[in-house]
Amino acid sequence: MELSSKKKLHALSLAEKIQVLELLDESKMSQSEVARRFRVSQPQISRICKNKEKLLADWCSGTANRERKRKRESKYSGIDEALLCWYHIARAKAWDVTGPMLLHKAKELADIMGQDFVPSIGWLVRWKRRNNVGFGARHVLAPPFPPEPPPPGPTSPAQPPLSLKDFSPEDVFGCAEVPLLYRAVPGTVGACERIQVLLCANSRGTEKRRAWVSGLRAAPRCFFGVSSEALPASYHADLGVPWSEWLAQFDGDMGRQGRQVALLLAARVVEGLAGPPGLCHVRLLPLSATSTTPSLPTSVVRAFKAHYRHRLLGKLAVVQSERAGTSLAEAAAGITVLDALHMAAVAWAKVPPQLIVRSFIQEGLAPGRTPLSLDKASEMPPVPAGLSLEEFSRFVDLEGEEAVSGVCKEEIGPEDEEGGGEDGFAPLPTKADALRALGTLRRWLECNGTSPELFEKFYACEEEVERICCL
């Protein structure tokens, strides 16, 4: 006798389950009759009746997938719900929500909730299916009557653009071109030894973009043999910021993170762009041409310059101790653009986040209350020995005392003093030179009572040099 095959289970979709509930409420049909109509078992109809309230809530929410037949709950339901809430807020603000953006936000929410969760493409697909989420075109209904334009009136220069409210403080960036006399010394005004440094940070101080330095030489002598990948800051020939190139790089970085950010820019910079930059992830928010508010707070720029000047004086003091009778001006002649790149990178890294947060709020470039800083002294470098506070302050603001520009003098470095090698360049250091230098440095540290913490940093540097030597 032939065995009968197992009956195939027929599951109902959410829409069909709602029809079942309507039939049971509006007609006198029994559960068995409804089961026969939908070709399912009577116990399945009974379970639908027990879950009536939950099914109706899903149906009325408008977010559930009405064609789904089974509702599989996510293991990370808290992240699932938080991301759905953020998604609805983003759509209400007419943001262009993308898959990478949702993955980035899901990971951010997981970190906030303290859950060890890494969202994948498969998880995102299932999340979209569970919550009936799609990335189709949005249709915004136009108002029946166009709004009347507001009456003209004076605007406060400290007020940020209204569209700034559409971004979280972490996604609001400011940037500034900082002219820097990179080898000037106190008491003198260099007329031409100038570089431009582009600084960019978000209003919470959690992200500081890599500094971008512009000079007057396409290939300074100090760059001979130096890998561009090893530079602590980006370098661009010609005095002036290549805004189109920099903005394209910034936009690409934000795109890889799946973010939409705002960038505050001076009106003259936006007007100076050759054409529309074609940015997808960076929204330019130009400040008013009559505004006195800078696109990066003045106190942040001044802190950077103060740290740079402090580091420069420290470097010159070392040269003076090594060569007796050398003046500051003579020691500064050996400072190269490459030295300036390193000092600028260190100075930018030392600008503390709490100063950036407070400065953005005080300048009206970010919402919130000004945070109290318990240790304001740590936000600025100490006054160098031999200078008064007033003298150091004048030295920090040295660029404001001169407006002359021109071609810098040829830099004088150690290779020039030693005679140099072929083509006027000193021979590049070898692996043996690097290892000998490490031995000399360790011996010097041992003989001068160095702290264990400094030795830990030396060991890390030693391991990295040895690794490179073995490549």
Angle at 250 between CA 244 and CA 253, to 5 degrees: 140
pTM for the whole structure: 0.58
Q: What is the reported pLDDT for 59?
A: 62
- Mean pLDDT check: name the lowest of 62-71, 387-396, 435-444: 62-71
At 144, the pLDDT band (50, 70, 90 cuts) reads very low
At 275, the pLDDT band (50, 70, 90 cuts) reads low
* Nearest by Cα to 398 from 210, 214, 218, 179: 179
Rounded to an integer, what distance in angstroms lies between the CA atom of residue 44 and that of residue 49? 9
Q: What is the reported pLDDT for 415?
A: 45
- Confidence check: pLDDT of 382 > 60: yes
Residues shown for the chain: 471
Kindly list the distances between the CA atom of residue 162 and the CA atoms of 155, 156, 170, 344, in Å, as whole numbers in the listed order.
12, 12, 17, 34
Paired tokens of 370: 């000004």
Query: Percent of the chain scored above 90 by pLDDT?
Result: 8
14-61 against 77-131: fold identical:
yes
* Nearest by Cα to 73 from 60, 90, 54: 54
At 305, the pLDDT band (50, 70, 90 cuts) reads very high
Q: 143 Cβ partners below 8 Å, 6+ apart?
A: none
Domain ranges of the chain: 14-61, 77-131, 172-242+262-401, 427-469
pLDDT in tens, 100-131: 888 888 888 888 777 888 888 888 888 887 77
At 422, the pLDDT band (50, 70, 90 cuts) reads very low
Q: What is the reported pLDDT for 166?
A: 77
Rounded to an integer, what distance in angstroms lies between the CA atom of residue 412 and that of residue 427? 16
Q: What is 14-61's CATH number, 1.10.600, 1.10.3470, 1.10.10, 3.40.50?
A: 1.10.10
Structural Rg of the chain based on CA atoms: 32
State mean pLDDT over 379-407.
74
- Residue 59 in contact with residue 22, Cβ under 8 Å? no
- Mark 359-390 as b/e (b = at least 16 C-beta within 10 Å): bbbebbbbeeeeeeeeeeeebbbebbeebeee
The dihedral of CA 421, 423, 425, 428: what is its sign? negative
Rounded to an integer, what distance in angstroms lies between the CA atom of residue 431 and that of residue 466? 9
At 219, the pLDDT band (50, 70, 90 cuts) reads low
State mean pLDDT over 182-199.
78
Give 90 or 49, the one with higher predicted confidence: 49
- Confidence check: pLDDT of 300 > 80: yes
Q: Domain 77-131: give its CATH superfamily.
A: Homeodomain-like (1.10.10.60)
Q: What is the reported pLDDT for 277?
A: 66
